[in-house]
């Protein structure tokens, strides 16, 4: 899923492909989500969709909708390519990220 994009990879425990963060560069919740993952020292990859060319952004949103039945909101965290969290609610993320 989302294989054709140039991801920003953050090293940590696990594989960067297990956690995929879709965010916006101007979103405070997105920045908090990214820092949360860094602080947890887990590997993840992320994109800031507002920095992508319009056609790539539209393609990624379409791919997300095809997979999950809805467009992404920000931040969106895709876990193992199978489930996702919308928004940064620390308690929910604590339950899902080990």
Mean pLDDT of 86-95: 95
Domain boundaries, the chain: 8-96
The CATH T-level fold of domain 8-96 is Glutaredoxin (3.40.30)
At 34 the three-state DSSP class reads helix
pTM: 0.93
Mean pLDDT lowest for which of 2-6, 39-43, 85-89, 90-94?
2-6
Contacts of 23 (CB under 8 A, 6+ apart): 30, 31, 33, 34, 46, 47, 48, 49, 74, 75, 76
Question: Does residue 27 carry a pLDDT above 80?
Answer: yes
Starting at the earlier edge strand, list the strands of the sheet with 8-10.
8-10, 44-48, 19-23, 76-79, 83-86
33-75 pLDDT, tens digit per residue, is 999 999 999 999 999 999 999 999 999 999 999 999 999 999 9
């Amino acid at each position: 899923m989302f294989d054709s994009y140039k991801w920003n990879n953050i090293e940590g425990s696990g594989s960067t492909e297990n956690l995929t963060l879709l965010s916006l560069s101007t979103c405070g919740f997105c920045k908090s989500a990214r820092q949360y993952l860094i602080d947890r020292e887990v590997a993840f990859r992320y994109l800031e969709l507002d920095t992508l060319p319009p056609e790539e952004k539209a393609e990624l949103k379409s791919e997300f909708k095809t997979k999950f039945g809805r467009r992404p909101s920000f931040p969106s965290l895709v876990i193992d390519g199978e489930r996702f969290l919308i928004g940064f609610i620390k308690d929910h993320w604590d339950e899902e990220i080990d």
